[in-house]
Structure 1
Amino acid sequence: MEARTVIADLRAGRMPDGDALRGFAAGLADGRVSDAQAGAFAMAACLYGLGEAGCVALTLGMRDSGDVLSWDLPGPVVDKHSTGGVGDPVSLILAPALAALGCYVPMISGRGLGHSGGTLDKLEAIPGVGCAVDETRFRAITGDVGCAIVSATGRIAPADKRLYAVRDVTATVDSIDLITASILSKKLAGGIGALVLDVKVGSGAFMASPKAARELARRLVDVATGAGCAATALITDMNQPLAPALGNALEIREVMRVLEGAQDTPLARITLALGAALLVLAGQADDEDAAKARLAATLADGRALERFARMVAGLGGPVDFAARWRDHLPAAPVQRAVPAADNGYVADIDGVALGMAVVRLGGGRLVETDAINPAVGLSNVVRLGDTIRKGDPLAIVHAADDAAADRAVVSVQAAITIGAMPTLPSLIHERLP
């Protein structure tokens, strides 16, 4: 493989063959491809695309650039991925619910960056929990509990890490093909056999338009399938937070409420829909209604909660977390209601603005080295269509000090529009295929 030839072919509109793209991925990992060549490749892929076959080849090459796990377990090995939003802790409920039904969920997850929260940051809001475990511990927790949510080691898809860093500084992050290869190379390196994709659309999502969300969902499903992993996708709404809380410990509180049986919530309904699609895909249920009923039963009878608590303990958290989670989770010293300035309905919610308000409180990061305060954020966030009178609380700010709370109140008021009754969006916009 010569990097110059791959780049020249892409620039000329000629698709490099699979071996060349896989070789390019190997070169990213071992240093044979320079930063300049990686940037030129990313720009050419962004401008001209890779096509489905090219995207499959790049995905497999990046997967194979590091460790690829394999499993010998007495049940299907499955996973779920979300493209990111706000107030979205679905993975923390879905993984233990699936484990309670005999699935194994070795979930290699990520941290928050920008307005979107990270699953690992939420889980590590529980005192003692550490998600950076070695492969031996990862395997042990997965085999014993049925699920483990951990961070990727440097040996998982190193070509993706290299290419992503280059994309971040060359304005090529928004390439559908490169997004797809980045997501799937890491997921497939986990050795999974089936994958459900939660592609978010709306004001709090990275894909704000239905067209863009549909394009990404289709590409993810087609490339995963082409790479040998059964996949399905749901396009779900992110025009408002999924849970009524944003912030790490605050979202864990919402997770625990669902795990304790609160199922009539948007968070629970999306979790059940994604899980049902995955169970059918993995051959563990004949239809989605039956699958939803089985998943719901694990929430109602405490089996999912028991698996979650065992995972928390396995990652270093409190052994009594299921019984005493309210005592263990950190709380911010300042809590302040955000008063509405007008009468009317909740007409619009800017999810990105809410997410950035949490980041500025200290609950997220703008660069990877930023420290996180797990206690801060927003709770009791209103939903679209709620009737509001002047002075009613739009949310509760949880802050480290009064000055931070004051700034967050102003930000939340600006992010939530009070006006005429809106058309309420469906929780699930579309299912692919």
Structure 2
Amino acid sequence: MKGPLLPTLLLILHSPLASAFLSPQPSSRLTTSLHGLSEWREDALSSAYTLDAFTTTPSHPQTITGTVPILPFPFNDILLPGQTKQLNLYEERFHLLFDEATTTYNSVIGMGLLSGNSGMMTLLPLLEIESFTRKNYDPRWRSKGDGMGNGEIIVTVRCVGRAKIVSDEGGLEQEEPFMKAKVVEVVDEKGLNGVGLVKEKGGGVEGETGNELEVGSLIAGNIEMLILSLAGMEHRWNEWKVEMSKKREEKAAGVIRDENGKEISRAAVNAQLEALFNKDTIPTTGVSLETNESHDENKSSNDKNGEADMNDRRSRYFKAFEDAKIADTQGYISQNIDPSKSTTIRSLKDLTAISWAVFCTDDVTQMSEQDEIQHNVFKIQALDHTNVLQRLNLGAAMLRMEMKKLKAKLALAGKGNEEKEEEI
């Protein structure tokens, strides 16, 4: 019995049915249509898996091309790594773009910046779809004749990187019903000095030198000091604007003040003068009226100023810094930082986040059109820089320029001349 039984057992053990019982089965994987930039990179690598694809240089560290659907945006809507925006997609072409982005391109979209008559820029911020919801959705498209028809998709996107359209491979792959293009991701040079990925010394791998991190940390410290100074100057500027606005309102309402700066209602003054005239007596102390309305108005104004302080430049900077760190998917080599300097030396990841956050601290709602254009030019230049030190220097230069403008405004306002407000 042993002779024929052994081959039979071996045959059973090597059968597919036996392997199903004897092999450990992989656990089921929860999948979702929302992936991200890392998965998009993996797809790009798998489609171009050749030795030439991994050729890197300091100036061009990545040559892997991928495809992204492109959603057009006005130039002034530019996002930097870490920033988010909510979109309402109504048109059929954008619904098609959204469906293809989530099913084919790992929820990555190119932000096509339209620069007036010059067309679309070849430099694209890369956006990840973070969340979405559909309203009044019907899977059957019901056209209304204006490109709309089956509800809206409310999408939250976050900027997680940048890319350039590869013009030598034909540029746009598709224009209708929405744009698609071959792109190369733009990544920072692995090293503050721009000499490549790593340094080799004695057969080992070495990270950034302490001197380079010290320089970057010094610039970062200057940036944060400039932001604190600007926040204080902007607070004084806003107080002056509130004061001027209040004076205009008082002037229109016929409010006057006595020699001590106390508010006097013209109607109240007239009423008291009339009463004094009827009594045929004139006091020697003059007229002084103080109402509770004045106190309440001051309290209300202080409350509003307190709310504004919660969203000042400093607060916006720290939020942008944390957002940029969360959105960062670049790999970093750990540095050996001197413990005695650990409180002043920043990591490369922190310096990278600061180099983005510095451009995200302005309140664009308070900007003039010209200042907003200049600010967006700085953002484009930042996107194009692949050296962190250069980007930090650019951010510091931008803050110094803004401080110079604000100092001039405050100096002019300090003359106390209400008529100067229009000139400022």
Query: TM-score, normalising length from structure 1?
Result: 0.21
Choose 1 or 2 for highest CA Rg. Answer: 2
Query: TM-score, normalising length from structure 2?
Result: 0.21
Per chain length, whose mean CA-contact separation is higher, i.e. which structure has more relative contact order (CA < 8 Å, sep 6+)?
A: 1
